[in-house]
Amino acid sequence: MIISQQKPFETILASLGESRSVFIVGCAKCATVCKSGGEEEVWQMQEALTSAGREVTGSIIIDEACHMLRVSRDLRGKQQMVDDADALLVMACGAGIQSVSAAVKNKTVAALDSLFLGNIKRFGHFEQKCSLCGECILTETAGICPVTACPKGLLNGPCGGMDEGHCETDPEAECAWAQIFSRITETGSSMNLTETVPPKNYAKILKPGKLKLSK
């Protein structure tokens, strides 16, 4: 899921600028789980904007704000409220914000910062596990991604800064490669650790990415 957090309210007001009337868009998926753009947060934002002298023409929580066709359809159901707004304040990730922007002619304002693709460890605690590098090597690294878990993204073992299994960038963090070696030992993997992993092929993550499934 995409981990996001709200921008400071002062930043949001500054981004709205001279827009006096606002329609708020939230997301029922990632932003709801992160408590950055769900029903509760949309209601709180409406209260805050009203107290700041802005008119809120309406709001909507879209099931998946990154789904472009769904966003377009759902906003058409609120057409008058959208038309009455000088700007749409979108409480969703960057993908959701752009879905809204593509569907309307109004000014679109981002209320959230998208941080990373994350796993849920427990409620309110998220960890980045994947960097979307386009070339997964998890099979070769015992299910632990060194591209993400290692601050340096090292593909061939620990650096000289490792100290007793901990990372030099954070003494409390376990070295990614120490974790990989430990996992190999636990699982009895037959991985050949003497082989050198070639440099990543970054051509596989050319932007913007596209994927069209064949029928």
Give the per-residue pLDDT at 191. 66
User: 174 to each of 50, 118, 122, 168, 179, how far by Cα in Å?
Assistant: 47, 18, 20, 9, 7
The rounded distance, in Å, linking the Cα atoms of 91 and 109 is 9
pLDDT truncated to tens, each residue of the chain (215 aa)? 999 999 999 999 999 999 999 999 999 999 999 999 999 999 999 999 999 999 999 999 999 999 999 999 999 999 999 999 999 999 999 999 999 999 999 999 999 999 999 999 988 899 999 999 888 989 888 899 999 999 999 999 899 999 999 999 998 999 999 999 999 888 776 666 777 888 888 777 777 888 788 77
Give the per-residue pLDDT at 66. 96
CB 62 within 8 A of CB 96: yes
User: 165 to each of 47, 82, 156, 179, 194, how far by Cα in Å?
Assistant: 49, 55, 15, 8, 19
Give the per-residue pLDDT at 190. 60
Give the per-residue pLDDT at 202. 78
Q: Are strands 87-91 and 21-27 parallel, antiparallel or unpaired?
A: parallel
